[in-house]
Structure 1
Amino acid sequence: MKEDYKRWYSPTLGKEMEMFVYGHFGTPVVVFPTTMGRFFEPRDFKLIDSAAHAINNGKAKVFCVDSIDKHSWYNKSVHPAIRVKNHILYDKFIEEEVVDALRHDYGIQKVALAGASFGAYHAANFAFKHPEKVSHLFCMSGSYDIRTFLNGYYDSNVYFNNPVDYLPGSENPELRNMKIILGYGEWDICKDATLQLSAILNQKGIDHWLDERKWAKHDWPLWRMMFPHYLSTL
């Protein structure tokens, strides 16, 4: 499988960022790592190997991005308001330096997003905030209420980065043009969170596939089953 390593200085974040890219061509799929994960996590946990067929056959070209979770949601050494502002910078980084760059390079309007666990939050939050730039959303075992990270702190920045809060009132018509899959395991710690997000989408009349995998828990074996299946829908 073709693997490319990219490293560049991000003017948005003021630091070096890294990314692995897999494949020669196909629909661009941006993959977010799990909690405080790095860009190499999907490779190390064999998520990329699980999708080798789709990647090698040009169904998808996968872009494994880095995270700054340790500086944002998980940074308990700073005030919650700063955690949220750091995440907003990350959102801007993903939009301008990853998604918009791919849209420009490929001459397309939209890319696909995917993530497992906390990566599913990142994928969903970006997609629901910028649906005009996202064609497909593949969420695996995600939780979509960020308030538990903030010790009771709440402001407008929290609201607009908390999908269960802002999504019910969003009227962006592009939400209905997105292909959405919400996957979870029967014994998944994020089962209830996934069902909550699905209920919000149902209330808004937004079509999506709620995918339950029997006898499966919140872990990489489940996501290695889901990811290639979801890529096959591109």
Structure 2
Amino acid sequence: MITSAPSLAKREYQKWYSPALKRDMEMLVFGKKGMPVLFFPTRSARFYDMENWKIIDAMSGKIAAGQVQVFCVDSIDKESFYSDIPPQERILRHLEFEQYILEEVVPFIRKRNKNEKLAVTGCSLGAFHAVNIGLKHPTIFSKIVGMSGRYDLTKSLPFFDDLFDGYFDENVYFNMPNRFVPGITDEVLLNQLRQLDITIVIGRDDPFLPDNEQLSASLNAIGVPHHFYIWNEEAHRPRYWRQMVKLYL
């Protein structure tokens, strides 16, 4: 459920029927101006969780000062990566979600906010969504912040399964950053990626640490500058994310 809002300059609830997803989608918008920030929720979480977990509170000073405007979108992870449909359909449903973001959410943001920049961020699986779409579309996004993310969902880890049950195709490849980043050779795309402001942050005891180290190494190998921070402990909880958004957004 949606809890009471923090004291911000503006809080707005949005809902519309998405042609891409063929269902209603909801969103919360915080603030009136500043750099727009597209915020993805964690695994199977909702558009209001960043507010409920006080992560929006942690950004309230910048929001009230007009430095950032935050757009918290909803998740369909239970219909894609965490559904019981065949794995080839899971990635297709994810691509429909990406279409919703690119063709509906981004134009909505651009209509509301004329700032030239557009940041994309998320925590845990939300970091995957942010990093994946940001790296695939560097002419749309200008800043990427991935917090506690996993960047290859085909890799089995302790307590975390391969979300495609061994299935692999071109769509899966081009939506797993740790798969497609090492293969980027196009100079136009490389130059676009090198203009991005990229931050990756992970906890030292987080099971996704090797995934983050691999992504950082791959970005270094193709000459894409970025910031890579390793925090103490696991740092995979809202209390850490509240600190991270203050530092990196």
TM-score normalised by length of structure 2? 0.89
Deviations 1:26-62 (A, max 9, x none): 1000000000011001001111011111111111000
Structure with the largest fraction of strand = 1
State the Cα distance separating 1:110 from its structure 2 match: 4.3
CA distance in structure 2 between the aligned counterparts of 1:31 and 1:15, rounded to whole angstroms:
20
Deviation at 1:105, TM superposition (A): 4.0
- Of the candidates 209, 224, 249, which is equivalent to residue 206 of structure 1? 224
Alignment RMSD (CA, Å): 1.3
Q: Which runs of 5+ in 1 are unaligned?
A: none
After TM superposition, give the deviation of residue 205 of structure 1 in Å.
1.1
Which residue in 2 is equivalent to 1:151? 165
Any stretches of 5+ residues in structure 2 without a counterpart?
A: 1-7, 155-161
2:245 to 219, 227, 231: 227
Instruction: Decide which of 97, 100, 104 is 1:93's aligned counterpart.
Output: 100
**Post-superposition shift, 1:109?**
5.1
1:122 aligns with: 129
Contact 1:103 1:110 in 2 (8 A): no
* Contact in 2 for aligned 1:6/1:18 (Cα 8 Å): yes
In the other structure, the counterpart of 1:177 is 195
Q: Which letter maps to 1:158? A: V
Residue 189 of structure 1: CA displacement? 2.4
C-alpha contact (below 8 Å) 2:98/2:133 kept by paired residues? yes
> Matched residues, percent identical?
40
Aligned match for 2:28, one of 20, 36, 60: 20
Higher helix proportion (structure 1 or 2) = 1
- Give the letter aligned to residue 203 of structure 1: A
Deviation string, structure 1 residues 66-120 (Cα, Å, up to 9, x no partner): 0110000000x21000000000000100001111332344345541001000000
Judge conservation of contact 1:38–1:66 (CA < 8 Å) in 2: yes
Provide closer, same or farther for how the CA distance between residues 137 and 42 of structure 1 changes in structure 2, counting only shifts above 3 A: same
State the distance in 2 between where 1:23 and 1:107 align: 14
Residues paired across the two proteins, number = 230
* Alignment TM-score, normalising by the size of structure 1: 0.94
Of the three residues 20, 41, 47, the one matched with 1:39 is 47
